Amino acid sequence: MKKIFNVLLVALVGLYLISCSKEDDKLELNNTSQAKITSDKTSVVLDETKAGQNALTVTWENPTFTPSVGFNNSLQFAVAGTSFATNVLQDLPSDQKTFSLTHLQLNNILAQLNVAPDTAKPIEVRMRTALNSTTFFYSNVVTVNMTGYKPNPDLIYPKINVPGGYAGAAGYADWDPANSPNLFSPEKNDKYRGFIYVTKPNSEYKFTINQSYTGDKGDDGTFTGKLVETGEVNIKAVTAGTYYLKVDWAANTYSATLANFGVIGDATPTGWGSDTDFVYNPATKTYVINSIALSNTGVFKFRANDDWAIKFQPKDAEQTLVSGTGVQTYLSSEGTVTGDPGYKVSQAGNYKIELDLHNSAYYKLTITKL
């Protein structure tokens, strides 16, 4: 009987402990005070010439919880009246109670929100406190009228440099990473591409990053498209001309394709039979046809090496170009063109054509009626 009593006692104690454990599991978290934020401005006009300067400062008070728990804060931006359905997050430091955003940071946020530049737009800002990936608490909302600018692609896309003995003749400086052509990463993914112009056969070059020879890369000596950082040799452009370079910085690979451009089409004097070639201008670092007769009854395209593997076109459909107005043009081999569109002009006449290929994130085409 005594043994039975002991067994029952142990069982009862066990049930009591389990019950207590379940009660603890049901412990509720209380948000005892809401986060509060303030901003030092109610309106801001962003300025690209002040890209690195502070444009807006936000100060906050953290929320409090019972029991105390760890959390992460971020600012959440959205166009006013959208209930934050589409928003952009900016992480906040955990050891501070104030944070400043630069002109460039805010302009990038506006771009991600698809806010048109040069137009004032009310933007709502609040602080999001995350306890985990699914549990969030929010502060009050402040509204700031923001006017953005059309960003300079040279400032917002990652780039590597291509110093070499060819660069001086192309309008830069020989073997100077800080004054050399750049390859950009339009997808911001460590894959870079772009063009260089070489005036002499067997000109040499290599790749650098951050405009410094620290961590520079060259060929591994096999000239099969493999890069190394130690024991590298300079890459050679065997013939003179324009080269389309692609570099995978993480995978340590590169390619170089000769790509000398011209214009062709039934709007040009030679029709579809032959190309009128561009000439590189080192003073402007652009490719130029100083004068060509264009009709307004046909179309024209820009292609490399008298072939169709590499060509510049409008992105979606035929585009009528406006004299003196630069537009973004797209390289079909980069997968940025739909279909096979061409360009045209509304007025027949002689035109100057200029291709600016210095930034692969924004190839620029300008035609000007003479």
Residue 25's pLDDT band (boundaries 50, 70, 90)?
Answer: low
333 lies in a domain?
yes
If phi > 0 it is left, if psi is from -120 to 50 it is alpha, else beta; for residue 176 that is beta
CATH number of the domain enclosing 235: 2.60.40.3620
Residue after which a domain boundary falls, among 125, 151, 177 = 151
Q: Please indicate, yes or no, whether residues 281 and 321 belong to a single structural domain of this protein.
A: yes
Average pLDDT, the chain: 91
Given a cut of 50, is residue 1 above it in pLDDT? no
- The pLDDT, as a whole number, for residue 27 is 63
Given a cut of 50, is residue 15 above it in pLDDT? no
Q: Please indicate, yes or no, whether residues 161 and 125 belong to a single structural domain of this protein.
A: no
Question: Can you tell me the distance from the alpha carbon of 188 to that of 106, in angstroms, rounded to the nearest whole number?
Answer: 18
Residue after which a domain boundary falls, among 258, 278, 304 = 258
Q: Please indicate, yes or no, whether residues 34 and 147 belong to a single structural domain of this protein.
A: yes
193 lies in a domain?
yes
Q: Please indicate, yes or no, whether residues 227 and 280 belong to a single structural domain of this protein.
A: no
Q: Please indicate, yes or no, whether residues 267 and 343 belong to a single structural domain of this protein.
A: yes
What is the pLDDT averaged over residues 2-28?
Answer: 45
To which H or E segment does residue 8 belong? helix 2-25
Q: Please indicate, yes or no, whether residues 143 and 165 belong to a single structural domain of this protein.
A: no
Q: Please indicate, yes or no, whether residues 94 and 162 belong to a single structural domain of this protein.
A: no
Q: Please indicate, yes or no, whether residues 246 and 272 belong to a single structural domain of this protein.
A: no
- The pLDDT, as a whole number, for residue 155 is 82
Given a cut of 60, is residue 3 above it in pLDDT? no
Q: Please tell me the least confidently modeled range out of 6-20, 174-188, 354-368.
A: 6-20
361 lies in a domain?
yes
93 lies in a domain?
yes
Range of the domain at 272: 261-369
Residue 320 CA: distances (Å) to CA of 111, 327, 345: 26, 11, 5
Given a cut of 90, is residue 20 above it in pLDDT? no
Q: Which residue has the tokens 């790509």?
A: 259
* Percentage with pLDDT > 90 across the chain: 81
**Residues whose CB falls within 8 Å of the CB of residue 43, separated by 6 or more in sequence, listed in order:** 120, 144, 145, 146
Amino acid at 311: K
Question: Can you tell me the distance from the alpha carbon of 154 to that of 173, in angstroms, rounded to the nearest whole number?
Answer: 19
279 lies in a domain?
yes
Give tens-digit pLDDT for 259-274: 999 999 999 999 999 9
Q: Please indicate, yes or no, whether residues 289 and 214 belong to a single structural domain of this protein.
A: no
Q: Please indicate, yes or no, whether residues 250 and 294 belong to a single structural domain of this protein.
A: no
Give tens-digit pLDDT for 177-208: 999 999 999 999 999 999 999 999 999 999 99
228 lies in a domain?
yes
Give tens-digit pLDDT for 326-343: 999 999 999 999 889 999
* 169: its two tokens: 């003749």
Amino acid at 35: A
CATH number of the domain enclosing 348: 2.60.40
- The pLDDT, as a whole number, for residue 5 is 39
Give tens-digit pLDDT for 110-159: 989 999 999 999 999 999 999 998 889 999 999 999 999 988 889 889 99
Amino acid at 152: N
- 316-327 burial string, b = 16+ CB within 10 Å, else e? eeebebeeeeee
DSSP letter, residue 229:
S
CATH number of the domain enclosing 147: 2.60.40.10
138 lies in a domain?
yes
- The pLDDT, as a whole number, for residue 191 is 97
Residue after which a domain boundary falls, among 258, 291, 320 = 258
Question: Can you tell me the distance from the alpha carbon of 189 to that of 7, in angstroms, rounded to the nearest whole number?
Answer: 66
Residue 63's pLDDT band (boundaries 50, 70, 90)?
Answer: very high
80 lies in a domain?
yes
Question: In the chain, helix, strand, coil percent, each to 5?
Answer: 15, 45, 45
Q: Please indicate, yes or no, whether residues 237 and 277 belong to a single structural domain of this protein.
A: no
Given a cut of 50, is residue 26 above it in pLDDT? yes
Q: Please indicate, yes or no, whether residues 290 and 354 belong to a single structural domain of this protein.
A: yes
Number of structural domains (the chain) is 3
Nearest-5° Cα angle at 115, 114 to 119: 160
Residue 364's pLDDT band (boundaries 50, 70, 90)?
Answer: very high
Q: Which residue has the tokens 């549990």?
A: 135
